[in-house]
Structure 1
Amino acid sequence: MTARCVMVLGTTSGAGKSWLATALCRHYARQGLKVAAFKAQNMSNNARVVAGGEIGSAQYFQALAARAEPDVRMNPLLLKPEADTRSQVVLLGEVSQPLSDMPWRGRSLHVWPAIAQALDALRAENDVVVIEGAGSPAEINLMDSDIVNLRVARHADARCLLVTDIDRGGAFAHLYGTWALLPEADRARIDGFVLNRFRGDAGLLAPGPEQLQQLTGVPTVAVLPMWWQHGLPEEDGVYDSAPTLGTGVSSLAPGGARSALGRPGGGTGPLTVAVLACPRISNLDEFQPLRNLPGVCLVWARSPADCAGADWIVLPGSKATASDLAWMREQGLDRAVAAHAEAGRPVLGICGGLQMLGEALIDTHGIDGNAPGLGLLPLVTTFEPAKTVRRTEATLGDCNGSHPSPWAALSGLTVAGYEIHHGQTCLHPAMQAAGHSATEVLPGLAWMHPRGHILGLYLHGLFEDTRVLQALFGTGASGLDPVFEGLADFIDTHFQPGVLDRLIHPPASP
């Protein structure tokens, strides 16, 4: 088979490409078609472990929406920013240091053959490939080295939708300007414009869509209303600066009592979770289940004031742990975390967050940087050139501390997740000899303060494990499949009839 290819392009980053591509994957999959997701190059520190290595989280979720097994070919090139001018390059799931060291503009010549081969293989195995572009296809300064937008569309002979975020303003100008800057042959690939995140009466848009079609020949095929609570994790960053109160099923344990991670002291009201939003935060999508749980208020914390009153603080993963630690100190967040821990309140560190909780970061290979840790756990982390990338299932040991532990309900629980880290962590030998200790609740992967209130672990995806949610909150989770169904229902409702089918069954030429 040779798959039909549908491509989602955007007028800007953040226009809604990933969201729409995910919805299209489920739309076509529930027609009984074999569907694959694809994005030639993704720049994101949100990644998932699949067979063969790691891919961007967006393509991981798109594969699940397509009812397909996530595959490194679905995102052959992943760029993981480590600084404003430097990224780690992951090709077909594995880190490539030569590509990471290569100037950006010279890289496309070397990676395009692998990208084209991956796309060709997916087309040969599927009925439909849903392709996501990156940024805008009209970035004329980058067209000569493009490997993710127009070059992919041409190679795949893709039919394209161009989506814009009308909530930002200037949507018609964005659509027209993008179309006008495309080469004439590529304009013909645009089958429809999509206005995303519209608020209000769609009738007020007239005569804009009609005038735009007169100028371009391209119809506006959908006006998608603003929809904040669709349940799909954000791909690129923390967009909701305001606290988010969960909207899913009840977060109370059976009998109405809050489970082990309730507010310290038995307080009432929502459980407030402050996740430190560091500049190089990674894998933030793993907190989406908390956003979906009612009775949980998720706060992205950028200042000590954001942590005030939090029931527990989470130090998330980081693609640049030493740099993010320096940022935390500049903001005074190190003192806020220390005060929270001193008061005996729960602190959780995940991957880079675990490394921050220790005494020191030691980097003799130039991987991440040397830095003193927060000193909340007697651990030391050394960075190694070899990167650990694997899915892991393990059974937690005794999570009870000398005081009532918020993590006690995890004792003896088998948990599943994934690891992506260069750091290797162990107990600090000198501190251990001096009597400072931590309980190793997962060998080589997780440590807990003797009092029981501070837990650090390398395992990502803790809150995506229904067993963990059941233990901590007394409830499971509905998972992402209802989210994918909701996305498909949404576009079925708001796209003009027949448009999505015509993308994969174009009318015969006269």
Structure 2
Amino acid sequence: MGAVLVAGAGSGAGKSTITAGLCRALARRGVDVAPFKAQNMSNHAAVTPDGGEIGRAQAMQALAARVETDRRLGPVLLKPSGGRSHVVVLGEEVGVDDAVGYGDRARALRPVVLDALTSLRGEHEVVVAEGAGGAAEPNLLDRDVVNLPLAAAAGMPAVLVVDIDRGGAFAAAYGTWALLPEPLQACLRGVVLNGMRGDVSLLGPAVRDLEARTGIPVLGVLPHLGDHLMLGVEDSLDLRAPGRPGLGMGAGEKPDRPVRIGVVALPHLANPSDLDPLVLEPSVELRWVTRPGELHDLDLVVLPGTRATVADLRWLRGRGLADAVVRAAEDPAGPHVLGICGGYQMLGVEIEDDGVEHTPDPDRTSSLAAPGVRGLGLLPVSTRFARPKVVRRVTGRVAGGSSAVSGYQIHLGRVSALEDAAPWLSLHGTGDEGCLSADRRVRGTTVHGVLDEDDLRHAFLGAVAAVRRRSFRPSPVPYARALEDHLDHLADWVEAHLDVDAVLDLAHTAAAPEEAPGW
């Protein structure tokens, strides 16, 4: 019943990536391991088999650990929207808080978090827990349920991940340790330097100095992953990492990628993992779209998921993108259009939100509720926001076809087909889903992960390419295999540059759950 916390000196240090790599490395050694993150703030979610929400990173880590996703892996999920966050506890949304008000709720959630961790420890040999943000934020320590206060309560050791690529790594490591009160300092049992470029031997004097000052060993120096494509990214800081849409992919570049897809960079973008299968296609060039002029040479425009459909539709109109997408879709020589979840809702005729998606803030004079908002009118559907939230995994097929569909739904918007609407998909148990325009150039669905299935994705992209007179060469690697290869690559990286045996030994020094100090 071992456990270890992977904390960070700050956001973007690589905690999620290292946790995934450790989980796969241990699983390959035959260790029964499970990931855990007590509290996560992200709009990028996954769905458990029983219909609960957890953070996307924990779903990837579960895949790395070769265990099923479980609500306990991420007992608290905060989904930010408009200065406040929707609070999800053990997979179910329980309220909406601002940053100040959440403090009381966080303290009340301590038993829930510790119970989830204790329960997982009772079922697995090792739990690799991930921290959040910076581990030594003095203004947050009294409400911290995810970093070193949790480690102290659970009696588990922690390692500190520091991003060396940005500079100042040794100051960040020492500063984190120095800011912590002594009981929390005692939890820190190792340091990991992440993102090294160049000769590791140059760090020798600094490593020895840090170890002498803190008494904490440096357990490894992980090299920068370079252009390795990160899949399932959750943090907004990672969305423009190498290989993601928009980085170095301007018009006229990458002539070996003939199918050009533009993803509208919505301000409240959610579930960007929907794009991962497109990123992996060798014939596809992805770009972020933020201005009307960037639509002119595209073959496909994607309106992705969003945590704030009405607000992002207003953003589209304010930037002139709404009219530009409509003109492009109505032009016989223009691009195809795909909407996913919130993006699909925008493509319809009307959206009604009577304070459901955006809960009115009693401290503000204006409400974000927006009944009767006009959509883009490209698909004959309308949307009405209502509770309860739909959270479920789905399977099915393309309507009238044989290509399999699998994915998940997380939405408040009930999409209703209007007269003569043609469905795109047929889901087991619920029937027709999504919509196709009469000319089959515009389509939408509420299903996240709809492009994960290789046959569906290749047929869709092949049809787009044929109409647009582009050549399309499908990826020879199935998407599911690409995910496994990615996780094995992270495990190889961790095994080669981090003392995994030392981390495993640390995990086994954790107090037995019944002997943990508690809060």
- TM beyond 0.5: yes
1:359 matched to 2:362? The reply is no
Contact 2:13 2:161 in 1 (8 A): yes
Picking from 306, 325, 328, the partner of 2:313 is 325
Residue aligned with 2:424, SS: strand
Contact 2:149 2:184 in 1 (8 A): no
Summarize the Cα distance change of 1:331–1:195 in structure 2 as closer, same or farther, 3 Å threshold: farther
Residue aligned with 1:179, SS: helix
Contact 1:365 1:385 in 2 (8 A): no
1:439 matched to 2:422? The reply is yes
Between stretches 130-139 and 168-177, larger displacement belongs to 168-177
Q: Deviations over 1:414-463 (max 9, x none)?
A: 211100000011134xxx4xxxx431233552001101100011111012
Picking from 107, 110, 131, the partner of 1:109 is 107
Structure 1 position 304, deviation (Å): 2.9
- TM alignment of 1:391-410, pairs within 5 A: 391-398=393-400
Structure 1 position 505, deviation (Å): 4.3
Instruction: Show structure 2 runs of 5+ residues with no match.
Output: 246-254, 359-368, 426-430, 462-473, 512-519
Picking from 23, 27, 30, the partner of 1:29 is 27
Structure 1 position 31, deviation (Å): 1.6
Structure 1 position 326, deviation (Å): 1.4
Summarize the Cα distance change of 1:63–1:244 in structure 2 as closer, same or farther, 3 Å threshold: closer
Q: Distance in 2 between matches of 1:283 and 1:217?
A: 41
- TM alignment of 1:116-135, pairs within 5 A: 116-135=114-133
Q: Distance in 2 between matches of 1:28 and 1:311?
A: 43
2:195 is matched with 197
Q: Distance in 2 between matches of 1:300 and 1:102?
A: 34
- Aligned letter for 1:350? I
1:452 matched to 2:435? The reply is no
Q: Deviations over 1:345-397 (max 9, x none)?
A: 21000000000101211012442442321121122100002100011112221
Q: Distance in 2 between matches of 1:151 and 1:55?
A: 22
Summarize the Cα distance change of 1:101–1:176 in structure 2 as closer, same or farther, 3 Å threshold: closer
Structure 1 position 507, deviation (Å): 12
Summarize the Cα distance change of 1:300–1:460 in structure 2 as closer, same or farther, 3 Å threshold: same
| TM-score after normalising by structure 2 | 0.84
Contact 2:156 2:510 in 1 (8 A): no
Residue aligned with 2:238, SS: coil
2:340 is matched with 350
Summarize the Cα distance change of 1:225–1:155 in structure 2 as closer, same or farther, 3 Å threshold: same
Contact 2:233 2:239 in 1 (8 A): no
Q: Distance in 1 between matches of 2:239 and 2:149?
A: 33
Contact 1:167 1:199 in 2 (8 A): yes
What is the RMSD computed on CA atoms of the aligned residues? 2.4
Contact 1:439 1:450 in 2 (8 A): yes
Contact 1:230 1:487 in 2 (8 A): no
Between stretches 3-12 and 329-338, larger displacement belongs to 329-338
Structure 1 position 206, deviation (Å): 3.6
- TM alignment of 1:121-270, pairs within 5 A: 121-227=119-225, 228-237=227-236, 239=238, 241=240, 244=243, 269-270=257-258
Summarize the Cα distance change of 1:28–1:61 in structure 2 as closer, same or farther, 3 Å threshold: same
| TM-score after normalising by structure 1 | 0.86
Q: Distance in 1 between matches of 2:241 and 2:13?
A: 20
Picking from 293, 302, 323, the partner of 2:281 is 293
1:275 matched to 2:263? The reply is yes
Q: Deviations over 1:296-347 (max 9, x none)?
A: 2222222334434222111011110011111222222213322321234210
- Aligned letter for 2:410? I
Q: Percent identity?
A: 42
Structure 1 position 471, deviation (Å): 3.1
1:310 is matched with 298
- Aligned letter for 2:212? Q
| Count of residue pairs brought into register by the alignment | 466
1:82 is matched with 81
Structure 1 position 230, deviation (Å): 4.3
